[in-house]
Amino acid sequence: MINKISYALAFMLFICAGFIACTDDDKVKITEFTLTFTAPENLNVSGISDLQVSFKNINTGKLTTNKMSGTEGKITLNEGLYNISVEGKINYTVDERTIEGQVKGYKESVNIIGTTSTDNIKLFLFNSKADFVIEEIYFAGSTTPEGKQYLGDQYIKIYNNSDSVLYADGLVILESAFKTSQHFEFTPDVMSQAMVVQCVYAIPGNGKDYPVQPGESILICDKANDHREANSNSFDLRNANFEWYDETKNNMDTDNPEVTNLDKIYCYSNTIWVLNNQGLCAYAIARLKVDRNTFLTDYTYNATYISATGSSMNKSGYQVPNEWIIDAVNISNKAQYAWNVVDASLDMGYTYCGEVQLDKNRYNKSVRRKVLTTTIDGRKILQDTNNSTEDFEAQATPSLKQ
């Protein structure tokens, strides 16, 4: 009798389980997604083709790719939150000549939901002309043999990725005013036109004072000292090409008179500037197309936004037009990453040293641009696709450690 009852109960549980597993709520919901493309502005476009579109599901990590052409494409996807990237070809006319170029596009956190859904991505013309690129950023600093944090040895390396001599005179180093870990809706939103910055430091010179040969780097550091004297785990920066030095009333900064100082155009800090040692900013190199006084007068940025607590807040800084910017790199840590703080035409990805907030493993590491290839004469060509996720080695061994 007990066996019959047990069998009956087991059968009923099996039936219930089957019924529950087959409810509509548990079925994967599908969306027919229509993606439209907006051609780059100010171009006489005759055709867009060979678009390779990648959809990355943020929650699952699944990557789906699809080929599209023209200004619209359709795809069937599981409902979810996606990052979408696009690469393809474009034909446009200049002075009655047809030119074939490359276009790219990127959009974060696209919520694809419902039976049908639509969205639009603005395409931009990708210029692969070799120039200066950011080769490496060492922002997290090092640790002493006792395990204590040491920050004085931060540096940035800039590389001549072309096959001709370039001049570093007038290059500016920029730090974003927005954090990659905090996504707010800023009004006005100028990201498609400019990078909002909180630090601007320039390499001095009259135009041809600082030549950089093809395949060579310039090293820019915080303090051009032999840091091994204070921290045996660090390195000697006395041979740096430039250092950033901040004059303060209390002489908080140190200056190596043998190393040329950057010209300080603007910095939000009233004391000394250090790179964000968690890596929660974007960094860029650019050339200002106006003089210092005009920049400080005409390129201010003042915005409002709503904070996480619902309060109305103000944000100020300076805006550097995107067309002035040569290269940009978004940096975050993996757990805190919220958004890219420069336009997709400058950088479609991000790189990192830390996995989580205050990650102690980020110390003694840098982000370094990957080598794409090496020429016959031994010159390295670094990868530059305007996507820091692809172009950079995260959590890398600093080059000065090798």
pLDDT digits (tens, 9 = 90+) for 330-349: 999 999 999 999 999 999 99
Q: What's the rounded mean pLDDT across residues 25-47? A: 88
User: According to the model, what pLDDT value does residue 26 have?
Assistant: 62
Spatial CB neighbours of 200, under 8 Å, sequence gap ≥ 6:
172, 173, 174, 265, 266, 267, 288, 295, 318, 320
Percent of the chain scoring above 70 in pLDDT? 93
H-helix or E-strand spanning residue 399? none
Exposed e or buried b per residue across 245-279, where buried means at least 16 C-beta atoms within 10 angstroms of its C-beta = bbeeeeeebeebeebbbbbebbbeeeebbbbbbbb
pLDDT, tens digit (0-9, with 9 covering 90-100), for 58-87: 999 999 999 998 889 999 999 999 999 999
Question: pTM score, two decimals?
Answer: 0.85
Cα distance between residue 132 and residue 138, in whole Å: 18
pLDDT, averaged across the chain:
92
Confidence of residue 1 (pLDDT cuts 50, 70, 90): very low
pLDDT, tens digit (0-9, with 9 covering 90-100), for 201-237: 999 999 999 999 999 999 999 999 999 999 999 999 9
Q: Where do we find the tokens 């040329």?
A: 260
User: According to the model, what pLDDT value does residue 151 have?
Assistant: 87
Cα distance between residue 243 and residue 261, in whole Å: 5
DSSP structural state of residue 152: T
Number of H helices, E strands in the chain: 3, 29
Percent of the chain scoring above 90 in pLDDT? 83
Angle subtended at Cα 342 by Cα 341 and Cα 344, rounded to the nearest 5 degrees = 120
133 phi, psi to nearest 5 deg: -135, 155
All structural domains of the chain with their residue ranges: 26-126, 132-401
Greater model confidence, 28 or 264: 264
Q: Is the pLDDT of residue 368 over 70?
A: yes
Query: Where do the DSSP E strands lie in 39-131?
Result: 44-57, 63-68, 72-78, 80-94, 97-112, 116-122, 124-126
User: According to the model, what pLDDT value does residue 96 have?
Assistant: 80
User: According to the model, what pLDDT value does residue 99 have?
Assistant: 85
pLDDT, tens digit (0-9, with 9 covering 90-100), for 149-198: 998 999 999 999 999 999 999 999 999 999 999 999 999 999 999 999 99
User: According to the model, what pLDDT value does residue 14 have?
Assistant: 47
176, 341 Cβ separation under 8 angstroms: yes
Q: Identity (one letter) of the amino acid at 385?
A: T
299, 318 Cβ separation under 8 angstroms: yes
84, 104 Cβ separation under 8 angstroms: no
Helix (H, G, I), strand (E, B) or coil at 71: coil
User: According to the model, what pLDDT value does residue 54 have?
Assistant: 96
**398 preceded by a cis bond (ω within 30 of 0):** no
Cα distance between residue 102 and residue 36, in whole Å: 17
CA distances from 26 to 13, 21, 81, 194, 330 (A): 18, 7, 18, 45, 38
Cα dihedral across residues 71, 76, 77, 81: positive or negative:
positive
pLDDT, tens digit (0-9, with 9 covering 90-100), for 267-322: 999 899 999 999 999 999 999 999 999 999 999 999 999 999 999 999 999 999 99
In this structure, are strands 116-122 and 30-38 parallel, antiparallel, or unpaired? parallel
* Furthest C-alpha separation in the chain: 100
User: According to the model, what pLDDT value does residue 24 have?
Assistant: 55
User: According to the model, what pLDDT value does residue 63 have?
Assistant: 95
Start-to-end CA distance of the chain, whole Å, equals: 78
User: According to the model, what pLDDT value does residue 397 have?
Assistant: 98
Q: Identity (one letter) of the amino acid at 79?
A: E
Going across the sheet that includes 63-68, the strands are 63-68, 44-57, 80-94, 97-112, 124-126
CB atoms < 10 A from the CB of 30, how many? 12
User: According to the model, what pLDDT value does residue 360 have?
Assistant: 95
Spatial CB neighbours of 388, under 8 Å, sequence gap ≥ 6:
329, 330, 331, 347, 348, 349, 350, 351, 367
Q: Which residue, 274, 243, 275, 277, is CA-closest to 258?
A: 243
Topology (CATH level 3) of domain 26-126: Immunoglobulin-like (2.60.40)
CA distances from 141 to 73, 74, 274, 367 (A): 46, 47, 10, 12
pLDDT, tens digit (0-9, with 9 covering 90-100), for 78-113: 999 999 999 999 999 887 888 888 999 999 999 999
Q: Is 56 exposed, middle or buried (0-12, 13-18, 19+ CB in 10 A)?
A: middle
